[in-house]
Amino acid sequence: MPEIVTVTQQGRVGIVALNNPPVNALSHALRSELCARLADALAAPELEALVLCCEGRTFVAGADIREFGKEPQPPDVPEVVEFVERATKPVIAAIHGTALGGGLELALACHVRLAAATAKLGFPEVSLGILPGAGGTQRLPRLIGARAALELIIGGAPVNAARARELGLIDAIIEGDLKAGAVAFAERLIDQGRPPTRVSARTVTLEEPTLFEEFVAGITERCRGQLAPFHCVRAVRAAVELPFAEGLKVERELFAELMRSPQAKALRHAFFAEREVAKVPGLPLDTPARPVKSAAVVGVGSIGSAVAICFADAHIPVSLIDTSRDDLERGLAVVRRHYANALETGQLDAPEMEARLGCLRPALDDDELETADLVVEAVFEDLELKRDVFGRLDAICKPGAILATTTTSLDIDAIAGGTRRPEDVLGIHFPSPTPAVRLVEIARARRTAPDVCASALAVARSFRKVAVSVVARPGFIGSRMRSRQLREALCLLEEGALPAQVDRAFYEFGFPLGPFAAAARDGLDVIGSDANPNGERLSEREQAELALEASKARGVVRRTIGDEAILERCLFALINEGARILEEGVAARPLDIDMVWIHGYGFPAHRGGPMFYADEVGLSRIHTAILDFQERVEPTSWVPSPLLERLAKSGSGFYGAP
Ligand code: 3H9
Residue 548 has what pLDDT? 85
Residue 1 has what pLDDT? 66
386 Cα to the center of ligand 1, angstroms: 42
Residue 341, number of CB atoms within 10 A of its CB: 11
Residue numbers of the chain with a pLDDT score lower than 70: 1, 523-539
Q: What is the pTM of this model?
A: 0.94
Identify the residue whose C-alpha is closest to ligand 1 atom 43. 61
Best mutation site among 65, 98, 131 for ligand 1 pocket (most ligand atoms within 8 Å of CB)? 65
- Fold classified for 295-475: Rossmann fold (3.40.50)
23 Cα to the center of ligand 1, angstroms: 6
Q: How far is CA 515 from CA 520, 549, 571, in A?
A: 9, 20, 11
Atom nearest to 271 CA in ligand 1: 18
Sheet containing 5-10: give its strands across. Answer: 5-10, 13-18, 49-54, 91-95, 112-116, 172-174
Best mutation site among 23, 54, 64, 277 for ligand 1 pocket (most ligand atoms within 8 Å of CB)? 23
CB of 65 sitting under 6 A from ligand 1: yes
Query: Of the candidates 547, 563, 558, which has an alpha carbon nearest to the alpha carbon of residue 538?
Result: 547
Residue 538 has what pLDDT? 55
Query: Of the candidates 184, 62, 177, which has an alpha carbon nearest to the alpha carbon of residue 126?
Result: 62
Pick the CATH number of 5-259 from 3.90.480.20, 3.40.109.10, 3.90.226.10, 3.90.230.10: 3.90.226.10
What does the DSSP 8-state code read for residue 277? T
Q: Annotated active-site positions, please?
A: 105, 125
Residue 594 has what pLDDT? 98
Query: Of the candidates 147, 407, 468, 433, which has an alpha carbon nearest to the alpha carbon of residue 305?
Result: 433
Identify the residue whose C-alpha is closest to ligand 1 atom 11. 275
What does the DSSP 8-state code read for residue 476? T
Identify the residue whose C-alpha is closest to ligand 1 atom 39. 23
100 Cα to the center of ligand 1, angstroms: 9
Residue 50 has what pLDDT? 98
Residue 537 has what pLDDT? 54
Is the domain defined by 479-585+588-650 classed in CATH 1.10.1040.50? yes
Phi, psi for residue 140 in degrees, rounded to 5: -60, -50
Identify the residue whose C-alpha is closest to ligand 1 atom 47. 23
201 Cα to the center of ligand 1, angstroms: 30
Write out pLDDT tens, residues 501-517: 999 999 999 999 999 99
Cα dihedral 434→435→438→439 (10° resolution) = 50
Q: What are the sequence ranges of the domains in the chain?
A: 5-259, 295-475, 479-585+588-650
Identify the residue whose C-alpha is closest to ligand 1 atom 10. 275
169 Cα to the center of ligand 1, angstroms: 21
Atom nearest to 279 CA in ligand 1: 48
CB of 158 sitting under 6 A from ligand 1: no
Atom nearest to 66 CA in ligand 1: 14
Query: 346: which residues sit within 8 A by CB, 6+ positions away?
Result: none
CB of 515 sitting under 6 A from ligand 1: no
Residue 71 has what pLDDT? 87
Write out pLDDT tens, residues 407-450: 988 999 999 998 999 999 999 999 888 888 999 999 999 999 99
